[in-house]
């Protein structure tokens, strides 16, 4: 059986970061003295996901400089990153892959236990509790074939569904090999009609054909870094919580739910 591959989406221009985003890709901003994507790669490989594929676009040379001799990491380039959404990056990254896929956004920082739910052959979307991050994506669930909570939809509008949302999107989603193929089929059809789409809508569409388990870690410490305010909050407030929770998780005093 082919090993799982992590696919990190790192092509975006980071326009909301202003001048900083013009000089540095969001995924290479540092928190705790380490670039976000480099930390994600390190944690993934420590978790047993040895193969990592990074989809580059904006300032791709900086990723090449950092990862050109990094064992287990390959780079693929989305040359149309400036005119398209993140869905094309997903489809570019999935091309030629076998086995399970762990899909990650590049501009997130998270504690170690965020990767603990990665399980061979399981399709799963990771959620956190309330973050009040100002750019949240809310997730609603439905009952799956085995009675479990599975993805129904996601939206930035908290009132998009009549029922209470289950959690917030973190940006880490796992697909079994079989469901990866469904994702690719759904993605190809959607991309042909909507070339500027982002990937989340195709994850939701895939969830109408297969069950995507919802895994909630209510007290997960994590942050997206999408603008200067988020970056400051990640450094000043979220990173200390990540360090504390990582210590507790390593000692067995934090679980994965």
**pLDDT attached to residue 11:** 95
In this structure, the dihedral spanned by the alpha carbons of residues 210, 183, 75 and 14, taken in order and rounded to 10 degrees, is -90
E strand intervals along 207-256? 213-217, 222-224
- Alpha carbon of 219 to those of 61, 194, 237: distances in Å? 36, 36, 14
Of residues 59 and 3, which shows the higher confidence score? 59
In this prediction, residue 252 has a pLDDT band, given cuts at 50, 70 and 90, of confident
Question: Residue 13: pLDDT band by 50, 70, 90 thresholds?
Answer: confident
Look up the pTM and report it. 0.95
- The one-character DSSP state at 84 is S
Digit-coded pLDDT (tens) for 162-182: 999 999 999 999 999 999 999
Predicted pLDDT of residue 24: 95
Percent of the residues in the chain that have a pLDDT greater than 90, as a whole number: 91
Residues 6+ apart with CB under 8 A from 143: 149, 150
Place of tokens 């054909």: 209
Can you tell me the distance from the alpha carbon of 170 to that of 165, in angstroms, rounded to the nearest whole number? 14
1 has a pLDDT exceeding 70: no
Mean pLDDT of the residues in the chain: 95
143: β partners:
149
């Amino acid at each position: 059986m082919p090993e799982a591959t992590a696919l990190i989406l790192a092509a975006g221009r980071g326009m909301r970061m202003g001048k900083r985003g013009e000089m540095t890709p969001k995924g290479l901003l540092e928190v705790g003295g380490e670039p976000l994507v480099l930390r994600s790669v390190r944690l993934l490989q420590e978790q047993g996901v040895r193969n990592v594929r990074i989809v580059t676009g904006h300032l791709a040379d900086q990723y090449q400089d950092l990862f050109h001799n990094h064992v287990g990491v390959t780079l693929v380039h989305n040359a149309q990153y400036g005119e398209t959404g993140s869905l094309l990056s997903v489809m570019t990254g999935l091309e030629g892959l076998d086995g399970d896929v762990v899909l990650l956004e590049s501009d997130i920082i998270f504690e170690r236990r965020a990767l603990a739910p990665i399980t061979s052959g399981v399709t799963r979307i990771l959620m956190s509790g309330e973050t009040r991050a100002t750019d949240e994506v809310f997730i609603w669930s439905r009952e799956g074939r085995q009675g479990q909570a599975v993805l129904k939809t996601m939206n930035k509008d908290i009132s998009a569904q009549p029922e209470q949302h289950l959690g917030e999107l973190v940006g880490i989603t796992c697909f079994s090999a079989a469901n990866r193929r469904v994702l690719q089929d759904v993605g190809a059809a959607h991309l042909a009609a909507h070339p500027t789409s982002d990937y989340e809508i195709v994850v939701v569409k895939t969830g109408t054909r297969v069950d995507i388990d919802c895994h909630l870690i209510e007290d997960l410490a994590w942050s997206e870094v999408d603008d200067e305010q988020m970056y400051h909050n990640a450094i000043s407030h979220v990173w200390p919580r990540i360090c504390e929770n990582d210590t507790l998780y390593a000692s067995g005093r934090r679980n994965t739910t």
